[in-house]
Structure 1
Amino acid sequence: MTAGAVALITGGASGIGAATARRLAGEGWRVVIADVDAARGAGVADDCGGLFIHTDVTSLHDNEHAVAQSVRAHGRLDAVVLNAAIAGRCGLDDFTQQHYRETMRTDLDGIVYGLHAALPRLRRQRSGHIVVTGSLAGLTGSPDVFYATAKHALIGLVRSAAPHLARDGIRLNIVCPGLVDTPVLARARTAILAHGLLLADPGEIAAAVQSVLGDRRTGRAWVVQAGRPAVPVEFPEIPLATR
């Protein structure tokens, strides 16, 4: 990307989003932080010399507003990092419709709305890169059943939409971190470490996002785990049945 490129980052107030904002800003990007947490979001924006926009990703209007404000402030939009997510609000044994929908509104709908909001601008300029923050849970499985369900859906979204968007000069990829030391895992941190599992620092995921933004490929799912570089997943080619 050229110096002064603009990146809009949802869920940028903490964790992977904040680390990504700081990393890109350190490389000369102009960053826009979109989050519901005004205090932390504004703090990250101040650290980065960037802009904070209060954004509820479960609202299509808020996503469209964030894109519009980014362009109004900087005159361009080069990348969108759709990162906002929450842990699952329920599972199979404590299922409620309300908690299920809360999970899907943020972890799936929020990405779809962010993608939809960015497309008119990116299509008009016939360039841009969208990176979705997925999860290793979207490639394997997880005790957090509906979080994993949403993340599996995001893999399908990226792989299905990328070929269509390539015609407009837009790249779409998904980064799939393993366990990351973020507030989402705060309660389970001790147990995770006790089982000998590694927790990646959010900065490692931010480095992967930066690497993917600089890659010319599209429609890829990139796995990122502690102490390891990002690697694209090789999905099997399954031909349609014929007579």
Structure 2
Amino acid sequence: MRFSGKTALITGGGTGIGAAVARRIASEGGQVVLVGRRKEPLMAVAEETGALVIAADAADGAAMAMAVEATLEAHGSLDLLIANAGGHGVGPTVTMSDETWALATRSNLDTAFVSARACLPALIRARGAIVVVSSIAGLFSGPDAIGYVTMKHGCIGLAKSLARDYGRKGVRTNTVCPGWVRTAMADEQMQVLIDRKGLSGADAAYALVTRDVPINRPATPEEVSNVVCFLASPEAAMVNGAIVTVDGGASTVDLPTLAFVS
């Protein structure tokens, strides 16, 4: 019951990693507040967890201020922020529109910054914690994903700044960088690969993208949530400013040597 008496606000909490984190925190005694633009998936997770649902854009300052106010009114404190909202920004530079670039910025970096800004006063009072969900795309670059890669790099810089500036005020901030995770968003990318390569289905696509990953498979949302929840918990009391990969070892691979592997 690591989260007994704690309240966690989770952006992008209706699906994938955010939903898995919500379930884990609730199962360990915590109160959960889910923020997202689509109410239906949030309500589905709330039925399992008893969460407070706030349908809002995490990149909207006024909406996030109201979300924090509603959280404090319902639970009396705010102890944890899981800045998980993200997505969008795939495509090459020369054909990426201003609108797609702006959407990548808003969906990934703005959501993390705006939610942190709104939550920090309450987190300081609670001596709480922030976990920013970035990606190994925030450490490396993938092909034709300029918006997503840039903003996920930005999320890591944001978390480092928060760790430096607010660690002295009792708020720890850490970053989790997943590799491929079997989520609805990743399934969409697998469909692109299925169509392009003529693969038999999602299992074949995931096998292809994790072919050179040492553990040789994608993560589950629950496996990522285990790491997120550790960093959010008192067990990680001395962890601040860390970047933790949850990628099956993908980031350990020396790409120039792959040609020598039979």
TM exceeding 0.5? yes
Distance 1:156 1:183, change over 3 A: same
Q: Aligned partners of 1:187, 1:128: CA distance in 2, in Å?
A: 35
Q: Aligned partners of 1:149, 1:156: CA distance in 2, in Å?
A: 11
Q: Does 1:193 align with 2:207?
A: yes
Q: Aligned partners of 2:88, 2:181: CA distance in 1, in Å?
A: 13
Question: Would you tell me which structure has more helix in proportion to its own residues?
Answer: 2
Question: More displaced, 65-74 or 189-198?
Answer: 189-198
Q: Aligned partners of 1:57, 1:18: CA distance in 2, in Å?
A: 16
SS at match of 1:167: helix
Match of residue 119 from structure 2: 118
Q: How does 1:128-167 map to 2 (within 5 A)?
A: 128-143=128-143, 144-167=145-168
- CA shift, 1:136, in A, is 0.6
> What do the CA deviations read for 1:208-229 (whole angstroms, capped 9, x no partner)?
1111112111111111124x7x
SS at match of 2:182: coil
Distance 1:28 1:96, change over 3 A: same
- CA shift, 1:188, in A, is 2.9
Q: Answer yes or no: is the 8 Å Cα contact 1:126–1:168 preserved in 2.
A: no
Q: Aligned partners of 1:9, 1:24: CA distance in 2, in Å?
A: 10
Match for residue 210 of structure 1 among 229, 245, 261: 229
- Which amino acid is the alignment partner of residue 100 of structure 1? W
Identity rate of aligned residues, in percent?
A: 35
- CA shift, 1:93, in A, is 3.5
- Which amino acid is the alignment partner of residue 211 of structure 1? F
> What do the CA deviations read for 1:122-150 (whole angstroms, capped 9, x no partner)?
22x15110110010110111222210100
Match of residue 243 from structure 2: 221
Match of residue 176 from structure 1: 177
Match of residue 238 from structure 1: none
Q: Aligned partners of 1:210, 1:60: CA distance in 2, in Å?
A: 26
SS at match of 2:9: strand
Q: Across the two proteins, how many residue pairs are aligned to each other?
A: 226
- Which amino acid is the alignment partner of residue 99 of structure 2? Q
Match of residue 42 from structure 2: 41
> What do the CA deviations read for 1:179-225 (whole angstroms, capped 9, x no partner)?
11111111333333234252110000111111111211111111112
SS at match of 2:53: strand
Cα RMSD for the two superposed structures: 1.5
- Runs of 4 or more, structure 1, over 6 Å off, are none
- Which amino acid is the alignment partner of residue 203 of structure 1? E
- CA shift, 1:58, in A, is 2.1
SS at match of 1:179: coil
Structure-1-length-normalised TM-score: 0.88
**Unaligned regions of 5+ residues in structure 2, if any?**
191-201, 250-262
Q: Answer yes or no: is the 8 Å Cα contact 2:78–2:126 preserved in 1.
A: no
Match of residue 127 from structure 1: 127
- CA shift, 1:160, in A, is 2.3
Computing the radius of gyration from Cα coordinates, the structure with the larger value is 2
- CA shift, 1:16, in A, is 0.4
Q: Answer yes or no: is the 8 Å Cα contact 1:86–1:103 preserved in 2.
A: yes
Q: Answer yes or no: is the 8 Å Cα contact 2:68–2:119 preserved in 1.
A: yes
Match of residue 239 from structure 1: none
Q: How does 1:8-47 map to 2 (within 5 A)?
A: 8-47=9-48
**Unaligned regions of 5+ residues in structure 1, if any?**
229-243
Match of residue 106 from structure 2: 105
Q: Answer yes or no: is the 8 Å Cα contact 1:89–1:102 preserved in 2.
A: no
Q: Answer yes or no: is the 8 Å Cα contact 1:132–1:175 preserved in 2.
A: yes
Distance 1:187 1:2, change over 3 A: closer
